[in-house]
Amino acid sequence: MGLFNSNKIKKGAVADVIQCTQKDYLVWKWAPDGEDGNGIRADAIRYGSMLNVDPGETAVFFYHQGNGSGQNMEFIKGPVRSFKIETANLPVLSSIIGAGYGGGTPFSASVYFVNTATANQFSFFIEKCGIQDYADPENKYTINVKGRVMFKISDCERFFHTHNLKYMDTISLKDSVKENIISDIKPIINRSSMDLKVAVKFLDSYTDKVRDLAFDTLKENLDRAFAISLERLDIISLEYNDAINEVYETRTINSAMANAAASARDRVLAENEIAAAQLARENMARMQDINLSHMEDSLARQREEAQRATKLETETGHLAAHQINVQGEVARQAAESLGQLGSSGGASMGGDGGMNMAGLMAGMMMGGAVGQNMANMMGNMTNNIAQTPPPPPPVSQFFAVINGQQAGPYNMQQLSAMAAAGQITRQTYVWKQGMAGWDMAGNVPELVQIFGMVPPPIPPQMPPVPPQV
């Protein structure tokens, strides 16, 4: 597809048809019949020529006014069909027709047709584009980038004011656009791995994401530098070289080895933790067994001590009775012996049937000893009984009805204080264990004494008895 091409029409035509005959173009320059772009009549428009502008096209007339005001431009947007250039029937060309024809002489003007309907496209290739790897930021690698660009002219006036058509052709424009795109896209490719947080090795699966990173920047720069509109940007492929494969293979091997070593360390640590936990459980079980054994021994000792204390307390409490029993048994046996001695008249002790004085004296001494022992025993019992304090008398506990509520129990000392303070009176109902029911305190013999020093209520004042007449 050409950007600027010359119209080749057969010679001999009297009038020209000013129209674009190209099917695929961006900007195309028209020339009169039989002339090329550099001939004498290259920019001559014959009287009576016809102008045709298809939809999606714009015809641009470049001409000079006779007054020397410089080059002027007229833009005619399609569709326009079969307009004869001989009168002012085309208002936008009235200045051209009136200035040039005046008697039918050709008018000099350059005519360009601009295709604003379809876009022009070309492919680009960037070899060994530097890129920083997200997975390995300390190292830089290179990749090859293949892409395609589609653009068109959307503003004819800006486009023609931006470019010098005298020195511009199809090849130079495309080369300029391509250089601009490559210059703008290189730094975007360089940062794409870091921006997308994707390792370079896997970046070829994210071409659409890379395209989105670059599109807005390229569109703005092409519009500013060339007055053209970027319609589409395709990132066809991102190819990394073998060096990245080697680095990734080495990194994978090292990572696998490190993971294996870490796994081995983790396994050893886990085994050590399991062994330590098992040992701790065993130690705890042993300590529990020891503590349980100690507890059982302590409980056994406590039971034995309690039983011994109970037995000792029982023996102490019955010691006097036990002594009486023992000494009584001794006295009984002594008495029996004396009785036997008396009945025999002491013969057994003498052996000759007469009075045996030695036996008699021995019996009397034994009886005296027994009597003395009995006396001592009774004296000791009496002393023990005298030394043992009598049990305290039972303490009476009374409940009282105060302010309609049951209160207490109270002992006698508390009740005396309450009676002195007026908190209870003889009419206060009281009860204690053993009473059939509630009764007034003045009716309970035990409580009468606490009201002894409390005067009874003052009787109502009675009027004096009148004297008898």
Domain boundaries, given as residue ranges, for the chain: 17-115, 120-240, 328-342+367-381, 398-450
Closest to 118 in 3D by CA, of 88, 86, 151: 151
CB 367 within 8 A of CB 338: yes
CATH architecture classification, 398-450: 2-Layer Sandwich (3.30)
Please compute the mean of the pLDDT values over residues 414-429 and round it to a whole number: 88
Half-sphere exposure of 253 (CA within 13 A, CB side): 5
pLDDT band, residue 146 (cuts 50/70/90): very high
Please compute the mean of the pLDDT values over residues 284-313 and round it to a whole number: 78
pLDDT band, residue 13 (cuts 50/70/90): very low
Q: Where are the alpha helices (DSSP H) in 227-318?
A: 242-317
* Per-residue model confidence (pLDDT) at position 17: 87
Task: Give the predicted TM-score (pTM) of the model.
Answer: 0.46
Closest to 450 in 3D by CA, of 418, 410, 427: 418
Q: What percent of the chain has pLDDT over 70?
A: 62
Q: Which residues pair with 51 in a beta bridge?
A: 18, 83
pLDDT in tens, 216-251: 999 999 999 888 899 999 999 998 876 666 666 666
CB 65 within 8 A of CB 26: no
pLDDT at 179 over 50: yes
Q: What is the mean pLDDT of the chain?
A: 75
Total Cβ atoms within 10 A of residue 109? 22
Q: Structure tokens of 308?
A: 């011994």
Closest to 85 in 3D by CA, of 64, 67, 54, 111: 111
- Give, in degrees to the nearest 5, the angle at Cα 335 between 334 and 338: 90
Tally: H helices and E strands in the chain: 10, 16
CATH number of 120-240: 3.30.479.30
For residue 57, CA distances in Å to 18, 154, 391 come to: 13, 11, 135
pLDDT at 349 over 80: no
- CB neighbour list of residue 305: distance below 8 Å, 6 or more residues apart: none
CB 254 within 8 A of CB 260: no
The helix, strand and coil proportions of the chain, stated in percent and rounded to the nearest 5, come to 50, 20, 30
